[in-house]
Amino acid sequence: MKNILTILTIMLLFTSCGDDKKNTVENALESNNLETIRKKRAELVDEQQVLHDKIKVLDEKISELDTTKNVPLITTFKAQPEAFNHVLELQGNVTTKNLMILKPEYNGILTNVYVKEGQRVSKGQTLGKIDDGGLSQQLAQQQIQSDLAKTTFERQKRLWDQKIGSEIQFLQAKSTYEGQSEAVNQIKQQIAKTVIKAPFSGTIDNIITEQGSVVAAGQTQLMQIVNLDDMYIEAEVPERYVNAVTKGKAVEVNFPVLGKTITSKVRQTSSVINPSNRTFKAEVAIPNKDKIIKPNLTARLKINDYTNENAVLIPQSIISENAEGEQYVYVVKDKNDKNQGTATRVVIKTGRTQGDQIEVLEGIENNAELIQEGARSVKDGQTVEVLTIDNRQND
């Protein structure tokens, strides 16, 4: 509107004296006199300056009276300190140290399997039996010889205690008895290897080798046993968090597949950094009373690695960056009773982020009024009008 009034004013002034000026200019040109032409030009320049001054006065009055001038409409929020808990998000897998595939210690035929899949067993319970290949008969024969050696040794000992007989006879009887006893123990140890026992209490998850199959020591997989009581999550943590992720840290654990979230703590961290990926391992204990959490289940971890009780948080969407790489936002200052103020650019220093929120370390004072909606379109020093003020930044 300002420009339209200016143009109309100029047109009216020129219309009122246009004919005289045209004729005067034409007469000056027709005179073909340099002095006359210069004089006429000077007169027109003076008239132009007078018009310019009058137009300027009119523009100032129009600006004062015009209530429809184009002022950007914005929304703001007030920066207020609040608690900021930054979390490190990791992914881990559920595992347990009580998960084992049992293998035989003896070569032979698997003659008996005493358990079924899904059966609960106790530590030391017999799960299966391998044919001993005649070791039981050897043990019986060896036991007879051992009993004879024992009787002989006891008689020689009584005689020796009474100072009867030679020392060599006593020592030979003792040596024979000890040798026979050791032989019996060795056969018993061999026979014990033919019995498969549960290394810990748990559940038989899978019977791999059926009864009657030939098995090889240390190679054939017999069955899998698992205990779901002592479960934990193992995650790899980047080395830069070595001081933040420590034993006892609170952890929020989410199982996407189960739709379940629990709270736990870091129970152990590795003392060694893996040189190949620059990470260290962290273990998070998992209570599993209902037994729905299984080994190799994927879990998402949130570990609190930083806390600021008086942080100033703002949305990342209102931050801009200049050519020097400095981050800045706009605050409203000198606001009048019409909710109009001046947009002022403020350079800030930021810290950690969480979602769309970012921590401001320097540049913003408490209760400063920051521009939110319209922050990308205003200019430094521009007059703006505030529509709404929110004491909390929007997520």
d(CA 197, CA 121): 10
Q: Which residue has the tokens 């909606």?
A: 373
* Per-residue pLDDT at 391: 60
Between the alpha carbon of residue 325 and those of residues 318, 348, 360, the distances in Å are 16, 11, 16
* Per-residue pLDDT at 272: 93
Q: Which residue has the tokens 């008239």?
A: 47
Alpha carbons within 13 angstroms on the beta-carbon side of residue 243 total 2
pLDDT single digits (tens) 309-348 = 888 999 999 999 988 889 999 999 988 888 888 999 999 9
Q: Which CATH class is domain 102-224?
A: mainly beta
Pick the CATH number of 73-85+309-390 from 2.40.420.20, 3.40.50.970, 3.30.1360.170, 1.10.287.3510: 2.40.420.20
Is 177 within 8 Å of 150 (Cβ atoms)? yes
* Per-residue pLDDT at 361: 92
How far the first Cα of the chain sits from its last, in Å, is: 40
* Per-residue pLDDT at 102: 93
d(CA 70, CA 62): 13
* Per-residue pLDDT at 66: 60
Q: Taking the chain (395 residues) in consecutive chunks of 10 residues, what is each chunk's mean pLDDT? A: 49 48 70 82 85 82 64 88 89 91 92 92 93 86 87 84 81 87 89 91 92 91 91 93 90 92 92 93 89 91 89 91 91 87 91 88 89 88 83 49
* Per-residue pLDDT at 394: 43
* Per-residue pLDDT at 374: 86
b/e 317-353 (16+ beta carbons within 10 angstroms → b):
ebbeeeeeeebbbbbbeebeeebebbbbebebeebee
* Per-residue pLDDT at 11: 52
Is 167 within 8 Å of 82 (Cβ atoms)? no
Q: Which residue has the tokens 């320097």?
A: 362
**Neighbouring residues of 115: CB distance < 8 A, sequence distance ≥ 6:** 121, 127, 128, 204, 207, 223
Between the alpha carbon of residue 292 and those of residues 93, 118, 228, 232, 286, the distances in Å are 15, 15, 9, 13, 11
* Per-residue pLDDT at 330: 93
Between the alpha carbon of residue 168 and those of residues 8, 120, 122, 179, 256, the distances in Å are 143, 57, 51, 16, 78
Superfamily of domain 90-97+226-307: Efflux pump adaptor protein, beta barrel domain (2.40.30.170)
pLDDT single digits (tens) 9-22 = 555 454 444 444 44
- What are the residue ranges spanned by the domains of the chain? 2-65, 73-85+309-390, 90-97+226-307, 102-224
* Per-residue pLDDT at 282: 94
Torsion angle defined by CA atoms of residues 371, 374, 377 and 378, in that order, rounded to the nearest 10 degrees: -40
> Cβ–Cβ contacts within 10 Å for residue 384, how many?
23
